[in-house]
């Protein structure tokens, strides 16, 4: 702990709560996280938010190429200075704006992502990574335990929601390790967990139009107490009542249920029914 504090102080670095900076100080846990990525000399790895490099040196030793993305200029400089390797590329920038598509296209292969994510960007970054899933094989993330529980929740639980459904459509997700708050400096108020995303070759279910699927899922959880019938009304036109009857009949799903009771597969069926009804209505108007 003392050596880390000294290193940060000498580099003029002070953990910034606004960025959710909590540095991992347990080397054994760092080794476990890197091992979960199952790295080899043919792997290209992207590490997001390397901080002081608790994971980075081990990743660079194992992987063929490592790209680290750090939004703190002083931390980016620290990584570049302390871990010298021609297999390491340090990018100073915002991971939420980084072009993962361009990286995947340039290397012509699927890469892996490893990160001890700052708490304040974890959810939007997960969505961004899943948008780039065609280029990614495996994602290993240290997240707030609360987010990990949401990612692996089951229908009917309070943690189950948009994040659960959106992520599990494209990945098989598991919690590999729970990490107590005492393993970080400065110590956060909550525990963390290491989550593995195995990107699926095909989505878990046929959702039809992905945009409609997303709108249906978000509408269903806009107010958890609403039934599907009431939640879907804003997505439909002036003839919502008739359309909802057609959606219920077409999907075989009771629209008196709440969205939190529906599985990913049921949402896929529901979204296809919504697409069929709304497209039919558009064609009739023409």
If pLDDT is split at 50, 70 and 90, which confidence band does 281 have?
Answer: low
pLDDT at 225: 92
Question: Mean pLDDT over all residues of the chain?
Answer: 92
CATH homologous superfamily for 210-280? Answer: rRNA adenine dimethylase, C-terminal domain (1.10.8.100)
Least confident of 10-14, 34-38, 267-271: 10-14
pLDDT at 11: 62
Report which of 125, 106, 124, 105 is spatially closest to residue 114, judged by C-alpha positions.
Answer: 125
Q: What percent of the chain has pLDDT over 70?
A: 91
Query: Which pairs count as long-range contacts for 147-154, CB under 8 Å and 24+ apart, including other chains?
Result: 147/122, 147/123, 147/195, 148/175, 148/192, 148/193, 148/195, 149/193, 151/126, 151/195, 152/195
**Running DSSP on this structure, what letter comes out for residue 80?**
H
Angle ∠(115,117,118) on CA atoms, nearest 5: 155
Same fold, 2-199 and 210-280: no
Specify burial of residue 225 (Cβ count, 10 A radius: 0-12, 13-18, 19+).
Answer: exposed
Q: Rounded to an integer, what is the distance from CA 164 to the centroid of its chain? A: 10
Specify burial of residue 37 (Cβ count, 10 A radius: 0-12, 13-18, 19+).
Answer: buried
pTM value > 0.75: yes
pLDDT, tens digit, for every residue of 134-145?
Answer: 999 999 999 999
> Does position 119 have pLDDT exceeding 90, yes or no?
no
DSSP annotation string for 1-30: -HHHHHHHHHTT----GGGT--EE--HHHH
Region 164-193: mean pLDDT is: 96
Q: Token match 């001890």: residue? A: 116
Domain 2-199 in CATH 3.40.50.150? The answer is yes
Q: Are 212 and 269 in contact (CB under 8 A)?
A: no
Q: Which two tokens stand for residue 12?
A: 């003029």
pLDDT at 118: 83
Region 3-22: mean pLDDT is: 64
**Cβ-based neighbours of 37, under 8 Å, separated by 6 or more:** 43, 45, 59, 112, 114, 138, 140
The structural domains of the chain, with segments of one domain joined by +, span: 2-199, 210-280
Q: Are 143 and 197 in contact (CB under 8 A)?
A: no
If pLDDT is split at 50, 70 and 90, which confidence band does 286 have?
Answer: very low
């Amino acid at each position: 702990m003392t050596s880390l504090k000294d290193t940060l102080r000498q580099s003029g670095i002070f953990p910034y709560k606004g960025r959710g900076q909590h540095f991992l100080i347990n080397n054994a846990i760092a080794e476990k996280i890197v091992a979960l990525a199952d790295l080899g000399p043919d792997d290209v790895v992207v590490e997001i938010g390397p901080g002081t490099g608790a994971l980075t040196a081990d990743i660079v030793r194992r992987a063929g190429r490592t790209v680290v993305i750090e939004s703190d200029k002083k931390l980016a400089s620290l990584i570049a200075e302390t871990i010298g390797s021609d297999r390491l590329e340090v990018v100073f920038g915002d991971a939420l704006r980084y072009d993962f598509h361009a990286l995947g296209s340039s290397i012509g292969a699927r890469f892996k992502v490893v990160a001890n994510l700052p708490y304040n960007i974890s959810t939007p970054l997960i969505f961004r990574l899943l948008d780039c899933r065609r280029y990614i094989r495996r994602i290993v993330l240290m997240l707030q335990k609360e987010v990990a529980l949401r990612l692996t929740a089951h229908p009917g639980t309070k943690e189950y929601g948009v994040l659960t459904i959106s992520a599990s459509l494209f990945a098989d997700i598991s919690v590999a390790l729970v990490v107590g708050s005492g393993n970080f400096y400065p110590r956060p108020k909550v525990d963390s967990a290491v989550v593995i995303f195995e990107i699926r070759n095909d989505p878990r279910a046929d959702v039809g139009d992905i945009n409609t699927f997303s709108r249906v899922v978000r509408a269903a959880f806009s107010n958890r107490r609403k039934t599907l019938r009431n939640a879907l009304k804003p997505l439909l036109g002036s003839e919502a009542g008739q359309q909802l009857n057609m959606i219920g009949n077409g999907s075989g799903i009771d629209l008196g249920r709440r969205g939190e009771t529906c599985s990913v597969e049921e949402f896929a069926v529901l979204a296809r029914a919504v697409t069929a009804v709304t497209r039919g209505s558009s064609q009739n108007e023409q």
